[in-house]
Amino acid sequence: MNMIEFRNVSKIYENDSAALKDINLVIKKGEFVFMVGPSGSGKSTFIKLLIKEISSTTGTIFIAGRNICNLKNNRIPQLRRNIGCIFQDYKLLSDRTVFENIAFALEVIGKPNYIIKAQVPQVLKLVGLYNKMDSLPHQLSGGEQQRVCIARAFVNRPPILLADEPTGNLDPATSEGIMKLLSRINLIGTTVVMATHEKSIVNAMRRRVVELEDGIIIRDQKRGVYGS
Amino acid sequence: MSLVFRPKHIFGETFSSLRRNFLMGFTAITTVAITLFIVGVFSIIVFDIQSVLNSIENQVEIAVYLKDNISDDLKIYIEDEIKEWPEVEEVTFISKDQALERFKTQNEGSDILKEIQGNPLPASFEIRLKDPQKIEQVALRFVDKDGGNIEGVDEVIYGRNYVKKLFSITAVTGTIALLIIIILVLATMVLIFNTIRLSIYARRKEIEVMKLVGATNWYVRAPFLFEGSFEGFIGGGIAVLLLYFLNRFLLIKGETALVETMRIKNLALLGTDNVIIFIYLAIIVIGILIGLLSSGFALRRYLKV
Ligand SMILES: Nc1ncnc2c1ncn2[C@@H]1O[C@H](COP(=O)(O)OP(=O)(O)O)[C@@H](O)[C@H]1O
Ligand SMILES: [Mg+2]
C-alpha cells in the first residue's frame, strides 16, 4: 500500500524560489525513509507539504490513497491527526509538565479524560520517560525533550511519523538513542520519514535514502548511505 | 467538526489573559461601556421624543381652555362653529368636573391631590384634526385682531412650537450623536482588536502546537472569540447599569416635568415602559457583537489556520 505519493510536485514560494521541482516519489506503508541533502535543498518543504502547512504549486500529493491537494480547510485537522511530527526545536510548552504537554495534544482534539489518563503514561513508558512525567521541559536534557516531542507526536498512534532534523541539536550518543526509538516506532508498523543532513546517522541505519539537491531528487536507494 | 466543549479551554484563557493584560482589557471594557452608554442615552432620547411627538399628534391636537365665566350660549356657539370647520375630525367638550375627574385618575395616589382645593381646572374643547399639518391654521382662529384670545377663551394649547423645536433638536443632535457613536465604536473595536492580538501573541506557541496536532480551526479560535465577546458583554453590562441609574433618578423626573408643562395626556412614559428593557437588551447584544467582530478581525489578521 502506498502511504505517501508525490506526482509531479513542485513548490515555488512567493518570492519565486523553487524549493521542490517536479518531485515523483512513492513511500510504502511501514517504510523508514531518510530525506537527505544540504541545507536549502528542500527537505523541510517536503515535510511541510505533507501536513499541509503549505500547499504545492503544481502536482498532486496522495496520503493513504487520498489526494490532499484539494482538501478543504476544515479537513486539514483530520489529516494532521493522522501524522505525527517532530522537530529540531521540540516545540514543547515551557510552562507545562511532560505529562501536560502530551495530554495537551489529546485534549485539543477532543479526547476524553479517561483516554488521556490511560494513553499518556503508556507512551511515556515507550519513550522511557515514565518517571519524569512531572518535570518541566527546562529540567530535562535535550535528548529527553526530544523524547517528549516524540511521545506527543506518537501518543495518538498515527500511521505516519515525520521528523525534521530531530537530532540537529543533539550529541551523537543521544542521537543514537533517538534513532533507536524511531526504529522501534517504525517496527510496530509506523511509516517514518526523517529529514537530516547528518551523514553518520544515515550511514549507521542502512535504510532507504532519498537525496535532494536544489529541489530535485538526485538519488533514491533502498539500503543507502549518504556521502560515502 | 468535533468541538468538544471544554469550559476550561474556552473560559479559563479569558481570565488569565485579562490578568496578563489588565490595563488593556480594562481600557477596552471602559471604552465599550462609555460608547454604549452614549448610544443608550441617545436611543432613550430619540424614543422619548418620538413618543412625545406621537402623543401630540395622535391625542389632543388643540386644547381650547375656556374661561370659568363663559356663558352657555357662547360655549354652544363656539362648539357649533368648530364643528363646521372642514379640517376638524372630532371635537369633545370636557367640563370642569370631567377635567377634575381625569386629573384625579391620572395622579392617583399622588400628593398633588391633597393640595387641590375646589376645582381649579378649566373646561375645554379638545379638537382632533384630520390633518395634523393644519394645526397652526386652526389654532389661529381663536386669536382675535389684537393678538389676544377671542371672547370666552382663556388659552389655546397646541404644542406646535414644541413639535418644531423637538424636530430640529433631534435632527441636529441625532447627526452629531451618530458621528460620535461611529468614532467611539471604531475606537472600541481597535482596542478590543489589540487585546486579542496580544492574547494571540502570548499564546502563539500553544496555537502552533494545537494546529500541528490537528485541533479544529474553531477550537483554536473559540477562546479568542469568547474573550472579545466577554469584554463587549461586560462593557455593555456596565453601560446598562449606568443607564438604569440615569433613567431612574433623572429621566423619569425630567419626563414628568415635560409632560406637565406640555399638558400632554396619556403619554407613554419611556422611563417606565417596556421599551427601555428592549434598549438594555439591545445594548448588551451590541456589546457582544462589537467584541465578536473585533476579535474576528484580529483572528483573520493574526491567526492563520
Ligand atoms: N517560507 C519561505 N519563503 C520563501 N522561500 C523559502 C521558504 N521556506 C524555504 N524557502 C526556500 O526554499 C528552499 C528550500 O528550503 P527548505 O525546504 O527549508 O530546505 P531544507 O529544509 O532542506 O534546508 C530554500 O532555498 C529556502 O530558502
Ligand atoms: Mg530544514
Among A114, A137, A157, the domain-final residue is A157
pLDDT at B258: 64
| A162 and A149 share one domain | no
- B5: cell is 466543549
pLDDT at A67 over 70: yes
pTM summary value:
0.74
**Contact status of B261 with chain A (Cβ, < 8 Å):** no
CA distances from A194 to A174, A207, B237 (A): 16, 11, 55
Q: Name all domains of chain B by residue range, CATH numbers in brackets.
A: 7-56+165-304 (no CATH), 61-157 (3.30.70.3040)
A74 → closest Cβ in B208, B210, B217: B217
Q: Which are the contacts of B235, defined by CB distance < 8 A and separation ≥ 6?
A: B28, B29, B30, B31, B32, B33, B35, B36, B188, B287, B291
Residue ranges of E strands in A166-205? 191-196
Rounded CA separation A145/A86 (Å): 11
Q: What is the pLDDT of residue A34?
A: 96
Residues with CB under 6 A from ligand 1: A 13, 15, 17, 19, 37, 39-45
In a domain, A15, yes or no: yes
Q: Average pLDDT of A15-39?
A: 95
Is residue A164 domain-shared with residue A96, that is, in the same domain? no
DSSP lists the bridge partners of residue A67 as A62
Evaluate whether residue A87 is within a structural domain: no
pLDDT at A58: 95
Residue B167: its pLDDT value, please?
Answer: 63
* Half-sphere exposure of residue A46: CA atoms within 13 angstroms, side-chain side: 39
Q: Are A167 and A75 in the same domain?
A: yes
Q: Are residues A142 and A214 in the same domain?
A: no
- Whether residue A127 sits in one domain with residue A146: yes
Domain span at residue A150 reads 92-157
Q: Which residues of B281-297 are buried (b: 16+ CB within 10 A; e: fewer)?
A: ebbbebbbebbbbbbbb
Q: What is the pLDDT of residue A93?
A: 95
What confidence tens digit (pLDDT) does each residue in B119-176 have?
888 999 988 887 766 777 888 888 888 878 888 888 888 765 556 666 666 677 778 8
Cβ neighbours of A55 in B, within 8 Å: none
Residue nearest to atom 2 of ligand 1 (CA): A13
* Same domain? A146 vs A181: no
Looking at the fold, whether A123 and A207 belong to one and the same domain comes out as no
What is the number of structural domains in chain A?
Answer: 2
pLDDT > 90: what percent of chain B?
26
Average pLDDT on A190-209 reads 94
Are residues A112 and A204 located together in one domain of the fold?
Answer: no
Here the CATH number for the domain that contains residue A1 is 3.40.50.300
Identify the residue with better confidence: B276 or A148.
A148
Mean pLDDT of B273-294: 90
Q: Which of A157, A174, A205 is the last residue of a domain?
A: A157
Predicted confidence at residue B14, as pLDDT, reads 74
Chain B environment of A94 (Cβ under 8 Å): 205
Picking from A104, A125, A157, the residue at the C-terminal end of a domain is A157
Amino acid B302: pLDDT: 86
> Is residue A22 domain-shared with residue A3, that is, in the same domain?
yes
* Mean pLDDT (chain A, rounded): 94
H or E element in which residue B32 lies? helix B22-58
pLDDT bin (cut points 50, 70, 90) of residue B1 is very low
User: Is A99 inside any structural domain?
Assistant: yes
A81, A93, A112 ranked by CB distance to B206: nearest: A93
The whole-number pLDDT of residue B251 equals: 66
Residues A170 and A140 in one domain: no
Q: Cβ atoms within 10 A of the Cβ of A10, count?
A: 16
- A106 occurs within a structural domain: yes
Atom index in ligand 1 nearest the CA of residue A45 equals 17
Contact residues on chain A for B202, CB-CB shorter than 8 A: none
* Mean of pLDDT values over A110-121: 94
Closest CA to B229 of B32, B22, B23: B32
Say which residue, B269 or A216, is predicted with more confidence.
A216
Helix (H, G, I), strand (E, B) or coil at B87: coil
**A163 in any annotated domain:** yes
Q: Do B219 and A108 count as a contact with CB atoms less than 8 A apart?
A: yes
ipTM of the complex: 0.92
- Average pLDDT on B267-282 reads 71
Residues A100 and A200 in one domain: no
Is there a single domain that holds both residue A163 and residue A215?
Answer: yes
- Picking from B21, B32, B3, the residue whose alpha carbon sits closest to that of residue B200 is B21
Q: For A74-96, what is each residue's pLDDT tens digit?
A: 999 999 999 999 999 999 999 99
Which pLDDT tens digit goes with each residue over B176-188?
Answer: 878 888 888 898 8
Interface residues of chain A, partner chain B, Cβ below 8 Å: 51, 73-74, 76-82, 85, 91, 93-94, 104-105, 107-110, 112, 152-153, 156
Q: Where are the beta strands (DSSP E) in A37-175?
A: 58-63, 66-67, 83-87, 160-164
Strand residues in B45-167 grouped as ranges (E): 62-66, 88-94, 124-129, 153-157
Q: Measure A101 CA to nearest chain B CA, in Å.
A: 10
Identify whether A216 is part of a domain.
yes
* pLDDT confidence band for B266 (50 / 70 / 90): very low
Question: Cα(B222)–Cα(B235) distance, rounded to whole angstroms?
Answer: 20
| Nearest-angstrom CA–CA distance, A183 and A204 | 12
Supply the pLDDT for residue B284: 96
